[in-house]
Structure 1
Amino acid sequence: MHSLFAWRYFKAKKTTNAINVISWISIVAMLFGTAALILVLSVFNGFEDLVKGLYSSFYPDVKIVPASGKNLSLTAEQLQTLRSVKGVKALSLVVEERAFLKNGEAQSMITLKGVDSAYKQVTTVAEHIVNGEFNTGTSDKPLLVLGYGIENAVAVQADRNIFPLTVYLPRKGEVDLSDPLKSLATDTVNTSGSFLIQQDFDNKYVLTNLGFVKTMLNMPPDAYGAAEIAVNNPDDAKTVQVRLQRLLGKDYMVQTRYEQNKSLYSIMQMEKWVIYAILSLILVVAAFNMIGALTMLVLEKREDIGVLHAIGASRNFIKRIFLSEGLLLATIGGGGGMLLALLIAWAQLKFHLVPLQGDSFLISYFPVKINPWDFLLVGTTVLVISLIAAYIPARKAARQQLVLRSE
């Protein structure tokens, strides 16, 4: 019944036109505030998916690293057991070490990553080759696959360089202060190609043969830097992690992709929540308009309130009428905003209306991803803010004691 009263009050003509104006201003403010909030969250979702997609090209589903130190030891029997764990699709052994890469006068500090033949089954780096091919060679004749930024830094064309590059790696446990060069293992290596994924990788990594790196570092046969694993179903990565951790024990640390990049994902989530909080202030401003509109409506309907009191309506019934009026304004504004956001997001996905400035991005337009949970979050926010805003004039209406006729 109170909802029916609220609907009639909304449709009915008011003696003061300002009430209609302020009501529609609050609806329009709610509409644009809701649409803006959903669209910004959708853009964040789009960029988050883009970044996660780029990082998933380089980081594996699951990674095994030593609990302490830089190297882990895995025997052939252990590796066979790990490969047979339910859910494991492929396992690749890798070693990473900081190195120095030189081409005449051009030079760059790099992270040299030795990978085995199963590496292409664990990551999709090979799908991001822009020059040449993905070929790390053999332990005797290694080849380098350069990040695109490294390729530019050392001034080579990875698919056609004539002269090999010089690689310097620190010798394990050997330091000669009188001649620091004696503490470095040096070799010359040709390049086979270059990859372009994301600046964090393109400007840092050079991939090569695992055996070659282990030889330069004087590593034992069963020693590795890490084991990178691809799982059959990425959604089961957490389950596979638990199985591997139980199998390996406390001397090893098994990490999911999220745990390998926890700081990155945490920052992205924090940014999203900060933007959500800031844009929610638009809805708060709209709520002030709603308070004004409902307060004026209470003054407009004083006689109606008096009649309702006279025929036995309780204070709570009067309060619910104006609370329903506030929810009605919020529903019209918030619902319209959601439909507007959905329409704009669809148009952006289909027609790429808003481009990204510059040529350094992998895509030319703002990415958008519609998430139903964002609609639920924003809808709940609109309702809560509207209820708080409507409560003030609703309480005032319920407390009114009016005399319908005076002598």
Structure 2
Amino acid sequence: MNLPFRIARRYFLSRNKRSFISIIALIAMVGVGVGTMSMVVVLSVFNGMEDLNRQIFKTFDADIKITPVEGRRFAVSDSLLKAVQTTNGVSLVTQVIEDNALARYNDLQTIVRLKGVDSTFEQRGQLDTALIEGSLRLRTPNGTQYAVISEGVRNSLLISLEDYLTPLELWYPRNDRRTLNLTAPDAFNQVSVRPGGTFFIESRYDDYVIAPLSVVASLLQYDNERTSLEIQLKPGATPGSVLQRLKKAIGPDFLVQDRDSLNADLLRAIRVEKLFVTITLSMIILVAAINIFFSLSMLAIEKKSDVAMLYAMGATPGLVRRIFLAEGAIVALTGAVVGLLGGIGLCWLQQQYGLVSMGMVSSLVDAYPVKLDLGDVLLTGLIIILITITVSYIPARRAAKSGQFVRVG
């Protein structure tokens, strides 16, 4: 710390010492303001990304999903279905069979994620906003079986919804053979469905084929077994409370998860990134606030005689420390208030007008999503207060001691 004080004394001997202190304080104010504005904007972008991912999950994933604790499948009994359907808050219960399968169309083939659902899936209406072609229908009154395919599967197999003569073939290995010879004619079960609609959400759902439950159960030889039960809640129902009631109703043999739990890894990754960005921006604000330390140190040297006069008038060391702390707070909080207002204003402009676009034609939204959270604003303010106290305390304490020394001498 000796070098800054030597530089300070050199400037204090010149005529421009006061203007120099003012410039240092102004730099500190601008630095704190820019850092504060950056923190508000960046944290709001992370909130917007988390909210956007939740909207994506809501398009495809169920409100609550029930799966077996052990194994991949479980038998669905009437008593189990009744226990789930009569739980307060439950609106629809969809029986699901999900597994990998081979899809063929003309001379092309690819591995897909096959999902068999019963008639309640169409009533949920989740994929309505994601459909880009065709309709969300899985069967017709005359018995025709349809499949709703993702855009990734359609592009891989070059499927045309207008071609009514070429079916989509689904293949799955038979599980009743002791030794599986993939070249044998009877090694695979095979069913045919007609592509009826195409949906697009994002890449993680780009290998799905959704087909009627009876078709998938026949292909996979599941009989009355299912891989999961998907639940849609009634309007106004709280997922957490319904989840607890379901756990009590169906017992410990089943895993009951809400939508956030199903996507916990991705949401956790977003929060961890947000935490590290918060720490990084706090360090940047701290570096900017170091100028407050230097300006207060210079001010303490310049006002040494004035502090001694205050002591002569009966001032205490605590009062002198508070004066210098208040000086640092004025500089830091002025920058913080300007930064907060600037950050809130930028977030509002982004929400209203989408100033910064995603820059990708295939993106789900045109502009970066932002969501202003009061908790983030309060956290930013708290960080500024802690930084201000940290960088102002040492100069304030030195000013109090220095004034005492002059008074005694």
Instruction: Give the structure-2-normalised TM-score.
Output: 0.91
Shift of 1:275: 1.4
| Match among 133, 136, 140 for residue 134 of structure 1 | 136
1:47 pairs with one of 18, 26, 49:
49
Q: 376, 379, 383: which one pairs with 1:377?
A: 379
Question: Following TM superposition, by how much is the alpha carbon of 1:276 offset from its aligned partner in structure 2, in angstroms?
Answer: 1.3
Q: Which residue of 2 aligns with 1:272?
A: 274
- CA distance, structure 2, for counterparts of residue 117 and residue 380 of structure 1: 53
Match of 2:230 among 213, 228, 245: 228
Q: Which residue of 2 aligns with 1:291?
A: 293
- 1:72–1:225 contact (8 Å) kept in structure 2: yes
Matched with 1:324 is 326
CA contact (8 A) 2:62 2:231 kept: yes
In 1, Cα distance between the equivalents of 2:218 and 2:283?
60
Q: Once the two structures are aligned, what percentage of the paired residues are identical?
A: 30
Q: Provide the C-alpha distance between the structure 1 equivalents of 2:275 and 2:393, rounded to a whole number of angstroms.
A: 27
- Distance in 2, Cα, partners of 1:403 & 1:253: 74
Q: 1:77 to 1:319 in 2, by over 3 A?
A: same
Would the alpha carbon gap of residues 138 and 64 (structure 1) be closer, same or farther in structure 2, given more than 3 Å must change? farther
CA contact (8 A) 1:159 1:192 kept: no
What do the CA deviations read for 1:239-291 (whole angstroms, capped 9, x no partner)?
11110001111111111111111111111111111111112222011121111
8 Å contact kept, 1:101–1:108: yes
Tell me what 2:70 maps to: 68
Gaps of 5+ in 2: 1-14
Match of residue 345 from structure 1: 347
**What is the Cα deviation at residue 14 of structure 1?**
8.6
Matches within 5 A, 1:10-25: 16-25=18-27
Q: Deviations for 1:138-168, whole angstroms, at most 9, x for unmatched residues?
A: 7964211100111101101235453112211
Distance in 2 of aligned mates of 1:298 and 1:382 = 22
**Change beyond 3 A, Cα 1:175–1:274:** farther
One of 148, 151, 165 as aligned partner of 1:162: 165
Which one of 170, 174, 178 corresponds to residue 171 of structure 1? 174
Check conservation: 1:59, 1:123, Cα contact below 8 A.
no
Q: Matched residues in 1 for 2:372 and 2:277: separation?
A: 17
* Residue 122 of structure 1: how far off its partner (Å): 4.0
**How many residues are matched?**
392
Q: Which residue pairs with 1:237 in the alignment?
A: 239
Coordinate RMSD, CA, aligned: 2.0
Aligned-partner SS, 2:406: coil
Give how far 1:121 is off: 3.8
Structure 2 matches for 1:94-113, cutoff 5 A? 94-113=96-115
Task: Report what 2:201 is aligned to.
Answer: 197
Q: CA deviation at 1:183?
A: 3.1
Structure 1 residues 78 and 360: CA distance shift in structure 2, 3 A? same
Using the alignment, how far apart are the partners of 2:167 and 2:346 within structure 1? 53
Structure 2 distance, partners of 1:263, 1:74, is 29
Tell me how far 1:405 sits from its aligned partner: 10
- Give 1:124's aligned residue: 126
- Name the SS of the counterpart of 1:57 in structure 2: helix
| Cα distance change, pair 405–143 in 1 and its aligned pair in 2 (3 A) | closer
Deviations 1:76-111 (A, max 9, x none): 232123111111121111110100111233221101
How far does residue 123 in structure 1 lie from its aligned partner after superposition? 5.8
Report the alpha carbon displacement of residue 30 of structure 1 after superposing the two structures with TM. Answer: 0.5
Contact 2:28–2:292 (CA under 8 A) maintained in structure 1: yes
Cα deviation, 1:186-210, whole Å, max 9, x if unaligned, reads 1222110111111111x22110000
Q: Is the 8 A contact 1:37 1:276 kept in 2?
A: yes
Compare 87-96 and 72-81 and name the one that shifted more: 72-81
User: Does the 8 A contact of 1:90 with 1:231 survive in 2?
Assistant: yes
- CA-CA distance at 1:307 after TM superposition: 1.3
3-state SS of 2:272 partner: helix
Give the alignment's TM-score, normalised by structure 1.
0.91
Does residue 358 (structure 1) correspond to residue 340 (structure 2)? The answer is no
CA contact (8 A) 1:290 1:389 kept: yes
Does the 8 Å contact 2:122/2:137 carry over to 1? no
Write the deviation string for residues 167-189 of structure 1: whole angstroms up to 9, x where unpaired: 11122343534445533211222
